Amino acid sequence: MLLYYIFSILFLHCKTPCSAARPAPALTTTPATEAVAVKDSNYTWQNFGSFLNASKGSHVNGMSELKRYFHHFGYLPSQDLKNITDILDARLETAIVRYQAKLGLQITGELDFDTLNQIMAPRCGVPDDTMFHKLHASRHYMYFPEKPRWSRSIPMTLTYSFSKENLIDSLSLSDIKQVFKRAFEKWGSVIPVSFVETEDYVFADMKIGFYSGDHGDGEPFDGVLGVLAHSFSP
């Protein structure tokens, strides 16, 4: 089961640090001729390994899915998806360079092992805010479109609640609550916001639950994007 929290405070007057993309944990290195190993349950995601060392101009089945990946996370503009093909073209090469620069990878413009390893690592579903900023500039926070926020005075109190129908067996509810309580206390110590747990899940400002696969919000987990968790605005 995967964490799903309808949760955001990025729209407060205080800009809270957040990073959508992050370096992947160290993975076992395999020879350059081998594809990166992933779960067999996701055929499209597994095929990303076949792009290893693909050269510019080459045609590889499924390359269009990689273009959609880069578009989703902010590296390939919408106009570049017109007449989308499985060819590694100049626009995709540019997207690869943007991605490598953002993630601190060696900038080669190629689908080398380190780049594919990073692409195939599970990650947050929030797009990386890079398309309209200088290549070497990096913000440590980002907003949803239109910057929605809670219209309350500062200091602010926000409530959070846990979905009792969507928990996990590996952790008890009390353990989960303790983890979130500590996290909220740490957050509240540096911003003018207090976080209070409530049993009223329906009317809570932030709703927290554990889900897997297609869970009804149009953003399934375990899919081609390898998303582990995501959040929605107020």
182 versus 65: the higher-pLDDT residue is 182
> Is pLDDT above 60 for 35?
no
pLDDT average, residue stretch 78-89: 84
Whether 141 and 127 have beta carbons less than 8 Å apart is answered as: no
| Residue with more model confidence, 150 or 114 | 114
Question: For residue 48, with 0-12 CB atoms within 10 Å meaning exposed, 13-18 middle and 19 or more buried, which class applies?
Answer: buried
151 burial type by CB count under 10 A (0-12 exposed, 13-18 middle, 19+ buried): exposed
More confident residue, 118 or 25: 118
| pLDDT tens-place string over residues 159-193 | 999 988 888 888 898 999 999 999 999 989 998 99
Residue 123 pLDDT class (50, 70, 90 cuts): confident
Per the model's pLDDT, the better-predicted residue between 137 and 207 turns out to be: 207
Residue 194 has pLDDT above 60, yes or no: yes
Pick the more confident residue, 227 or 50.
50
Return the pLDDT at 130: 61
In angstroms and rounded to an integer, the radius of gyration of the C-alpha atoms of the chain is 20
State the chain's mean pLDDT as an integer.
73
Beta-bridge mates of residue 157? 194
Q: 2-16+144-229 belongs to which CATH class?
A: alpha beta
Residues of the chain with CATH 3.40.390.10: 2-16+144-229
Q: Which residues are annotated as a binding site?
A: 124, 205, 215, 217, 222-223, 230
Q: Which pLDDT does position 88 carry in this prediction?
A: 93
Angle between helices 90-103 and 63-72 (to 10 degrees): 50
Q: What is the average per-residue pLDDT within 2-27?
A: 39
By the 8 A CB rule, do 95 and 75 touch? yes
51-59 average pLDDT score: 90
Instruction: Indicate the annotated binding residues for Zn(2+).
Output: 124, 215, 217, 230
Which region among 27-36, 112-121, 193-202 has the lowest average model confidence (pLDDT)?
Answer: 27-36
Judged against a pLDDT cut of 70, whether residue 220 lies above it is answered with no
Annotated binding site for Ca(2+): 205, 222-223
Which of 66-80, 107-121, 122-136, 171-185 shows the lowest mean pLDDT across its residues? 122-136
Q: Phi-psi bin for 20: left (phi > 0), alpha (psi -120 to 50), beta?
A: alpha
